[in-house]
Structure 1
Amino acid sequence: MLKKRYALISVYDKTGVVELATHLEIDGYTVIATGNTYNTLKSAGITDLKRIDEITNFPEIMDGRVKTLHPVIFGGILSIRDNENHIEDMKKNNISPIDFVVVNLYPFKEMKDKDITFEEKLEFIDIGGVSLIRAAAKNFRHVSVATSPAYYPDIIEFLKNKQEIPQEIKKVFAYEAFKLTAEYDSEISNFLGSKKEKKDVVFKGELNLNLKKLSPLRYGENPHQKAAFYEAEFEEDLKEIAANEQKRDDYPAFKKISGKDISYNNLLDIDSTFNIIRDFYAADDWFSVIVKHTNPCGAALSKTSLKDAFLKARKTDEISSYGGIIGFNKKVDKETALEIKPFFVEIILAPGYSRDAIEILKTKKNTIIVEYFTDYILKRDKFSLRSASGGVLVQEKDDAPENTLSFKTVTDKKVDDYLLNDLIFAWKIAKHVKSNAIVYAKDCVTMGIGAGQMSRIDSAKFAYQKMKDSYGDVRGFVMASDGFFPFKDSVEYAGKIGVIGIIEPGGSIRDDEVISEADKLNIPMIFTNIRHFKH
């Protein structure tokens, strides 16, 4: 009996199943079928055909709720064909191997939104079908699983040619099978988790997102970031979500030491600050950044102290720093805490705090004090997700370490090491500023930041005005731009205000004009060959 070959077919969607069963029969397979599938195949003239109860010697019961859940069926699917113990168990229990499992599921996704009762919707939750699919997919080395009529032509082609289906194809079938059951279970859990009778929108502990890829994108925010657009099937479209009102004080990236409850906007600002700290965390020098509405409004490296870094960062834009988020790359000490104390600060982020610093900062009852986890800072996230136009944009995160070896001086005048340090510092900050972004810096301190302007020359002028407001007349500073200069006007402006070095991605159709203007003004310019747009 072990030599007999079997294929199990149990499908809700009968498309193409007769043709597939015909070729299975021609190739010597006995087809085991359930209920309506059996009737369809028998009516179509398939003769080497058995009802499921002829194999199990157990009838379908409970209106068809229980029909395939039987050891004879699952033993036939899950048995490892070259395992002596499995072979012996099959002989003892009169179990035959099942080489094909062809199953598609009750259409729960479509039926859950129909105008039928809740109990009727429950009947469209497939149990046996999901179990068969998972069993076959787990044992894909010995079993071919087909969960859609779309796979039938490939199987038929192999059957016609008397070929064994290759392992790599079976593995693909298994991947598709597990993906299907995951999506199916998510649909059910979302359905059962929704509470339509609740009018207030509240959020539970877990949110399942079914994301179906609709199309690849040319690239993400920048050419070096791969991206795609996914259709999102949110739980009840995020309109009504079941409640889990348990208050959480734990976060994957940090712990809150004191202060008020953390808000949505707080988390966005915290995330932006983390991204900036990550680029300076390994620096030997002390680093401080102040963030407002996800944009850095001041940043500085100091060889002297953390206090010095903070004061220099704050000097860039004291007005915008009010109510901002302060980030540090090193443990906060008493001296730095004393400088922070008089000012209104929304959040402080650091890898640690001295005992004295904590006591001082805790007196600021509304300030959120956060200690971040070093392993999170050292880890770089793979993807970022953002909702858009009824779906979700997914892209690689723009947080790869800068490869300065790809930087190229494109002007006749070259860059010395001191100037290069300032240029790299300004470039790292510009990466985190909303486009169009211009950053002026000197001695690894931001002098002026122009964020989010619709034209690059306007960002350059805005950043200069900020610098004048804070420092007066400054000369000898560098300029960084997150995107290329489309025209030479920004370089002309840089020459007027005293810029002594420029760093930008390059890539404009007018690069030659831009470089020529920099040469004319005797300003060295570096092309990074990578763009850092941020929308």
Structure 2
Amino acid sequence: MQKNHLSERNYPIRYALLSVSDKTSIVEFASELNKRNIKILATGGTASLLVKSGIPAIEISHYTGSPEILDGRIKTLHTKIYTGILYRRGQDDNIITNKRIFPIDMLVVNFYPFTQTVINKNCSLEDAVEKIDIGGPTMVYAAAKNYKFVSVVVKHSDYSNILDELDVNSNSLSLNTRFKLAVKAFNYLAFNNNNIANYFNDLISSFNHTQHFNKNDQNTLPEKINIKLVKKQNMIYGENVHQSAAFYIPELTNTEPLNLLKIQGKNLSYNNIIDIDTAIKCLEEFKEPTCVIIKHSNPCGVATSDSIAAAYKRAYITDSISAFGGVIALNRELDQPTIELITKHQFVEVIIVPSVTDTALKIVSKKKKIRLIICNNWKKNSLLDFKTVNGGVLIQEHNNKTIDINQLNIVSERKPNKKEIKDSIFCWKVSKFVKSNAIVCAKDTATIGIGAGQMSRIDSVKIAYMKAKNAVLETKNSVMASDAFFPFRDSIDLAAKMGIKCIIQPGGSIRDKEIIDAVDEYNISMIFTKIRHFRH
């Protein structure tokens, strides 16, 4: 910051203007200002509260000689107010004296609750519009611009520190404090403006989608997205030790952040959070007792069963080697039989469950390195997917597409039986969370082999087969899911060798007929979903 002998002076606060929608601690703060002989100006509602509380306050309309009009839309938009806020000490003194204007040394303002209003599903456009503050932001802009002389306060959490500094600084705040308060004010303004812009952007997108303004464009994402993220917690490091990382959440949105309650263990790492997120999203697909084991953001074992202990055991044997040091997620309470199985079979980084019994908790507590996480919020994430790339950000909707079991497109001569259909749907759900190219093989609603992240689909099939053989799991009469179409019949030839009896895939290849002819040749059932599940 450039040095300026005037700006570095500390100016005693003589007049403070208070205009707050959120009146948290304002009476106490105003009382302390009054004790320090600071004269208080205030807008209608704030002035009324202060006077009722026995605190002297000059009502703005009495000071300006202009009453509030337009049902309170016009309160502070007056020359006397903005001259007092923008007054440059040592430069505009004559104007202040001649016009008998109060030099406003401190502005305490917060805005109408726009965000809190529009997150209500029943909020109308008219309700939203009335919560767009005009006078408040205008005053804050003016005061923050004039931070060399004026202190602007937008957070009630700052009241206590301000009072402490007034006591040690002879009723003044330092330039450093005024500057920091101005920075907070500009951020507060940006957040408010972004929320208003986002609200109207969403309305335009929704309106265009409803009216089909451009029938050739089915993209309903807004033209502009403004988002303010607040740091929730620091990560111990990023994907690698040399990378810093932190977890951020949107400030004051209608999106509930993932409710993770750590019961024991070290702080969660960047990679832990990614694996936990994948596990929870996969669990959301299933209502039955289900276990998902994640390693490096890929499922290495998924199973449903009649008990959560049985589900874990079946998921674990899919790939016990990869499960080492992974994340285990269960959609049922962690009980004694399940935790005994887990601690007997493997080392685990994280166990995430909706609840835990007292007995199971005692067992876990003996394993200090296990991070035990309680997650009782299984709601689907309504945020968009963001991915940074060189020069910009890619944004997409979440992959929440599902298939209707009653509308399966069976394209083979052989029709799948009920068990094969059930296993195919199970496989298809898991494939959504496996990195592409993804192949998932399963039997009796448990994975037996998963091939992930290969550059060619046939290699993913080979890996799935290898995993099953390594685990000594029988592939005969099992099912296979592919996240995208088969470009060649080589995968079908290998599936036949494995004994696969039903394959579920999107279809859509120029060689679909060749693929269908191949499954018919091997008497394999094939289901087309017409939905692709790429995951990168």
Q: In structure 1, how many angstroms separate the alpha carbons of the residues matched to 2:509 and 2:140?
A: 49
CA shift in 2, pair 1:488/1:371, >3 Å? same
Choose the corresponding residue for 2:356, options 353, 356, 359.
Answer: 353
Aligned residues: 371
Could you say what secondary structure the match of 1:262 adopts?
coil
Partner of 2:532: 531
TM superposition score normalised by structure 1: 0.57
Could you say what secondary structure the match of 2:292 adopts?
strand
Letter of the 2:365 counterpart: K
Could you say what secondary structure the match of 1:291 adopts?
strand
> How far apart are 1:396 and its partner, in Å?
2.3
Partner of 2:383: 383
Could you say what secondary structure the match of 2:268 adopts?
coil
1:258 aligns with 2:281: no
Could you say what secondary structure the match of 2:534 adopts?
coil
Contact 1:231 1:391 in 2 (8 A): no
1:317 aligns with 2:319: yes
Choose the corresponding residue for 1:291, options 291, 294, 310.
Answer: 294
CA shift in 2, pair 1:131/1:276, >3 Å? closer
Choose the corresponding residue for 2:368, options 358, 365, 369.
Answer: 365
Letter of the 2:382 counterpart: K
**The 10-residue stretch of structure 1 (485-494 or 69-78) with the greater mean CA deviation from structure 2:** 69-78
Superposition map of 1:55-454 within 5 A:
72=66, 74-76=68-70, 78=72, 227=221, 252-280=258-286, 282-283=287-288, 286-303=289-306, 305-342=307-344, 343-373=346-376, 376-377=377-378, 379-389=379-389, 390-454=391-455
Letter of the 2:438 counterpart: A
CA shift in 2, pair 1:235/1:330, >3 Å? closer
Could you say what secondary structure the match of 2:530 adopts?
coil
Could you say what secondary structure the match of 2:267 adopts?
coil
Q: In structure 2, how many angstroms separate the alpha carbons of the residues matched to 1:183 and 1:509?
A: 61
Q: In structure 1, how many angstroms separate the alpha carbons of the residues matched to 2:244 and 2:305?
A: 50
Letter of the 2:323 counterpart: S
Q: Deviations over 1:296-316 (max 9, x none)?
A: 00011123x322221111111
Contact 2:403 2:529 in 1 (8 A): no
Letter of the 1:258 counterpart: Q
Q: In structure 1, how many angstroms separate the alpha carbons of the residues matched to 2:512 and 2:140?
A: 54
CA shift in 2, pair 1:365/1:208, >3 Å? farther
Q: In structure 1, how many angstroms separate the alpha carbons of the residues matched to 2:505 and 2:191?
A: 41
**The 10-residue stretch of structure 1 (403-412 or 313-322) with the greater mean CA deviation from structure 2:** 403-412
CA shift in 2, pair 1:175/1:385, >3 Å? farther
Letter of the 1:444 counterpart: T
> How far apart are 1:513 and its partner, in Å?
2.1
Could you say what secondary structure the match of 1:516 adopts?
helix
Q: In structure 2, how many angstroms separate the alpha carbons of the residues matched to 1:240 and 1:301?
A: 37
CA shift in 2, pair 1:425/1:71, >3 Å? farther
> How far apart are 1:256 and its partner, in Å?
1.5
Q: In structure 2, how many angstroms separate the alpha carbons of the residues matched to 1:511 and 1:398?
A: 24
Q: In structure 1, how many angstroms separate the alpha carbons of the residues matched to 2:516 and 2:131?
A: 52
Contact 2:111 2:133 in 1 (8 A): no
Letter of the 2:417 counterpart: D
Q: Deviations over 1:79-115 (max 9, x none)?
A: 7xxxxxxxxxxxxxxxxx99xx9xxxx9xxxxxxxxx
Partner of 1:514: 515
Could you say what secondary structure the match of 2:429 adopts?
helix
CA shift in 2, pair 1:340/1:533, >3 Å? same
Contact 2:475 2:500 in 1 (8 A): no
Letter of the 1:306 counterpart: I
5+ long unaligned stretches in structure 1: 1-65, 80-96, 107-126, 139-167, 199-204, 217-222, 245-249
Could you say what secondary structure the match of 2:69 adopts?
helix
Q: In structure 2, how many angstroms separate the alpha carbons of the residues matched to 1:370 and 1:438?
A: 30
**The 10-residue stretch of structure 1 (504-513 or 323-332) with the greater mean CA deviation from structure 2:** 504-513
> How far apart are 1:496 and its partner, in Å?
2.3
Q: In structure 2, how many angstroms separate the alpha carbons of the residues matched to 1:507 and 1:184?
A: 59
Could you say what secondary structure the match of 1:467 adopts?
helix
Could you say what secondary structure the match of 2:284 adopts?
helix
Q: In structure 2, how many angstroms separate the alpha carbons of the residues matched to 1:521 and 1:424?
A: 21
> How far apart are 1:77 and its partner, in Å?
6.8
Q: Deviations over 1:460-493 (max 9, x none)?
A: 1111111111126631211001112223332222
Partner of 1:18: none
Could you say what secondary structure the match of 1:475 adopts?
coil
CA shift in 2, pair 1:494/1:183, >3 Å? farther
Contact 1:324 1:345 in 2 (8 A): yes
> How far apart are 1:391 and its partner, in Å?
3.8
Letter of the 2:69 counterpart: G
Contact 2:245 2:270 in 1 (8 A): no
Partner of 2:471: 470
Could you say what secondary structure the match of 2:462 adopts?
helix
Could you say what secondary structure the match of 1:457 adopts?
helix
Contact 2:316 2:323 in 1 (8 A): yes
Identical pairs, percent: 36
Letter of the 1:264 counterpart: Y
> How far apart are 1:353 and its partner, in Å?
1.5
Contact 2:335 2:357 in 1 (8 A): yes
Contact 1:332 1:354 in 2 (8 A): yes
CA shift in 2, pair 1:264/1:225, >3 Å? farther
CA shift in 2, pair 1:337/1:234, >3 Å? closer
Q: In structure 2, how many angstroms separate the alpha carbons of the residues matched to 1:413 and 1:439?
A: 21
CA shift in 2, pair 1:70/1:528, >3 Å? farther
Q: Deviations over 1:247-293 (max 9, x none)?
A: xxx9742322111112222111111111111111x22xx32110111
Q: In structure 1, how many angstroms separate the alpha carbons of the residues matched to 2:343 and 2:244?
A: 42
Could you say what secondary structure the match of 1:289 adopts?
strand
Q: Deviations over 1:344-363 (max 9, x none)?
A: 10111112222111100111
Letter of the 1:397 counterpart: H
TM superposition score normalised by structure 2: 0.57
Q: In structure 1, how many angstroms separate the alpha carbons of the residues matched to 2:524 and 2:66?
A: 81
Could you say what secondary structure the match of 1:260 adopts?
coil
Could you say what secondary structure the match of 2:384 adopts?
strand
Contact 1:226 1:395 in 2 (8 A): no
CA shift in 2, pair 1:465/1:70, >3 Å? farther
Q: In structure 2, how many angstroms separate the alpha carbons of the residues matched to 1:185 and 1:474?
A: 68
> How far apart are 1:401 and its partner, in Å?
4.7
Contact 2:111 2:137 in 1 (8 A): no
Contact 2:485 2:508 in 1 (8 A): yes
Q: Deviations over 1:113-150 (max 9, x none)?
A: xxxxxxxxxxxxxx9xx999x9xxx9xxxxxxxxxxxx
